[in-house]
Amino acid sequence: MMHCHCSMCRKQHGAPFATFVAAALSGFRWLGGEDAVAGYASSEQGVRSHCRHCGSVTPMLLPQAGLALVPAGNLDGDLGLKPQAHMFVGSMPKWYTITDSLPQHAGMPPEFGGGLGVERPAVAQREGVADGSCLCGAVAFEFRAPQRMYQCHCSRCRRARSAAHGQNVFVKLDDFAFTRGEELVTQYKPPEAQRFTQAFCTRCGGKAPSVQRARGVVVVPAGTLDTDPMMRPMANIFVASKAPWFEITDAYPQYAELPPP
Ligand SMILES: [Zn+2]
Ligand SMILES: [Zn+2]
Ligand SMILES: [Zn+2]
């Protein structure tokens, strides 16, 4: 079980990092919905896939390596396995800090052949503005004056981002604008949810900001950011729903559910 900080994972998951369980392909099988899996060729080497209905990241099958890479955020129950290392920390944004003591690899760990990731073109930081885009780059946006930023451990965020937790920036509607590709963004709302929606690019499955007009707010998944969000997480929220395999080691305040108003 490994945490991956590569830019592709951050874009696809919308989370600050992704976590995968590597399992023998021979032990993997779909239980349903394989026809809902959509693929996107994110590089020469790889196809990334997601559920076309909700945007969750789906397992990556690597026949040559005999492996299935399964996003841990979508696991039910507890394998008893814990994360063992961080990879592609060389691709981490400057504004993110690792606070646990697991081994760190700049790129791919040596036992998997080493090598660095596919780097995305750098986006220059603008004064007072944050920029972001999806995995394929067709969707892009900008915002000013972020209001709040939380790391959310709720089961919806974990499932939607297919990650240990979500990391979301809340922006006022008037301070946010899509700069391209808004027509490619679709939203999925779980039937029982009051507010939660997942927005994603229909071309690549990469996460996108969720525009909630009625509330006058836009929820930006921090993994989509190309430049500094100009604020840092204010707290870990919904920690009562935290993944059993994930340990919080940062110093941000923790709330069992919502933070105080
Ligand atoms: Zn990755
Ligand atoms: Zn896209
Ligand atoms: Zn959440």
Q: From the centroid of its chain, how far is CA 149?
A: 15
Question: Which residues have C-beta under 5 Å from ligand 2, the single-atom ion?
Answer: 134, 136, 138, 201, 203-204, 206
Q: Which ligand is nearest to the CA of 159?
A: 3
Calculate how far, in angstroms, residue 176's C-alpha sits from the geometric centre of ligand 2.
Answer: 18
53 within 8 A of 36, measured Cβ to Cβ: yes
Across the chain, mean pLDDT equals: 95
The pLDDT value given to residue 47 = 86
Q: How far apart, in Å, are the Cα atoms of 166 and each of 51, 153, 162?
A: 18, 6, 9
Neighbours of 240 (CB within 10 A): 11
Q: Please determine, for residue 45, whether its predicted confidence score (pLDDT) is greater than 90.
A: no
Calculate how far, in angstroms, residue 34's C-alpha sits from the geometric centre of ligand 3.
Answer: 26
pLDDT in tens, 154-176: 999 999 999 999 999 999 999 99
What is the band of 118 on the pLDDT scale with cuts at 50, 70, 90? Answer: confident
Q: Please determine, for residue 238, whether its predicted confidence score (pLDDT) is greater than 90.
A: yes
The pLDDT value given to residue 237 = 98
Calculate how far, in angstroms, residue 73's C-alpha sits from the geometric centre of ligand 2.
Answer: 21
Calculate how far, in angstroms, residue 32's C-alpha sits from the geometric centre of ligand 1.
Answer: 25
What is the band of 119 on the pLDDT scale with cuts at 50, 70, 90? Answer: confident
